[in-house]
């Protein structure tokens, strides 16, 4: 899916919500545990209930790896179930030397057919470029993350800028705005204005709204541009909206509430 197609989906559905499929088998409703693949069954019902209110799904790969080979099967089934017009992000935060990054790209882009993968920038250009060799696929580079530890290194001064700014600027030589997005935590909404001045036209993936406490209006005000430019992720506040039999219905209502708020902001700031 290219940038324009993603923007058209945002306009059509009036939402830039990404639903984080961070499905922990220890947290899903008990009655699902008798299904042959409980994690997939949970995801399937969450997808059915939220698909009209979002444009993207983002499974965090850790939740699947924690279940070993079975987890990879749940992930593969989930990816087969998600329709092609939904943007899919492997939240994997990978990054390794060139020949190894190529294998991660094969795993997520070719075998699993994800549109995008999150990549950690620490190892530099040749750890990222192999992902960009896959035509029509996206790298979402960690820039400024939503967790407390983002202050440890990402915001250090390197020369006349912060490390995360240096990373964003360097990465502009690696690929185009049709290949690169950036992770910017919602808990850092005030930084968004500055980041928008460096990359006015790129898409940003913003986690941290919901359970992590980020403010959606602030994020939208500083993050939206005239081509959408924003995917805001919510995971726990949607998928665990209820732990009873009505979990999917409640997830749908939680996603719809966010969609309605986003519709307002698209008109106000977009």
Binds its own copies (CB under 8 A): choice among 43, 50, 78, 154: 154
Q: Which of 104, 114, 240, 247 binds its own copies (CB under 8 A)?
A: 104
Binding test (CB under 8 A) with its own copies, winner from 32, 44, 85, 93:
93
φ, ψ (nearest 5 deg) of residue 158 = -120, 110
C-beta neighbour count of 5 within 10 angstroms: 11
Residue 109 as a binder of its own copies (CB under 8 A): the answer is no
Q: Which of 9, 4, 2, 10 is nearest to 266 (CA)?
A: 10
Q: Is there a catalytic annotation at residue 93?
A: yes
Q: Which is nearer to its own copies, 85 or 161 (CB)?
A: 161
Phi and psi at residue 222, to the nearest 5°: -90, -20
Q: Provide the token pair at 215.
A: 């403010």
What stretches of the chain show up as alpha helix (H) in DSSP? 3-13, 38-50, 61-65, 68-81, 98-105, 125-132, 163-171, 189-198, 216-223, 236-239, 247-269
Considering only residues 14, 24, 85, 218, which one is a binding residue for its own copies as defined by CB under 8 A? 24
Contacts of its own copies in 32-71 (CB under 8 A):
60, 62-63, 65-66, 68-71
Binding residues (CB under 8 A) for its own copies: these are 22, 24, 60, 62-63, 65-66, 68-73, 76, 91, 93-98, 100-101, 103-104, 106-107, 111-112, 120-128, 142, 145-154, 156-159, 163, 166-167, 170, 212
């Amino acid at each position: 899916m290219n940038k324009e197609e993603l923007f058209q989906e945002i306009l059509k559905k009036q939402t830039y919500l990404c639903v984080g499929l961070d499905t922990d088998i220890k947290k899903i409703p008990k009655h699902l545990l008798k299904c042959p693949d409980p994690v997939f069954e949970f995801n399937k019902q969450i997808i059915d209930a939220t698909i009209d209110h979002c444009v993207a799904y983002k499974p965090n790969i850790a939740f699947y790896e924690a279940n070993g080979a079975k987890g990879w099967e749940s992930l593969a089934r989930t990816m087969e179930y998600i329709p092609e017009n939904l943007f899919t992000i492997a939240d994997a935060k990978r990054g390794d030397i060139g020949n190894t990054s190529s294998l991660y790209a094969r795993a997520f882009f070719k075998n699993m057919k994800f549109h995008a993968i999150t990549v950690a920038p620490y190892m530099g250009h040749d750890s990222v470029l192999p992902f960009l060799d896959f035509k029509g696929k996206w790298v979402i580079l960690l820039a400024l993350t939503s967790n407390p530890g983002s202050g440890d290194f990402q915001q250090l001064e390197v020369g006349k800028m912060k490390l995360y700014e240096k990373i964003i600027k360097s990465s502009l030589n690696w690929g185009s705005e049709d290949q690169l997005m950036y992770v910017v935590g919602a808990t850092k909404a005030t930084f968004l204005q500055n980041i928008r001045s460096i990359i006015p036209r790129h898409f940003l993936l913003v986690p941290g709204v919901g359970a992590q406490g980020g403010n959606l209006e602030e994020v939208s005000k500083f993050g939206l541009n005239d081509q959408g430019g924003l995917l805001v992720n919510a995971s726990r506040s949607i998928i665990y909206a209820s732990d009873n039999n009505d979990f999917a219905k409640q997830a749908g209502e939680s996603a719809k509430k966010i969609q309605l708020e986003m519709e307002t902001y698209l008109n106000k700031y977009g």
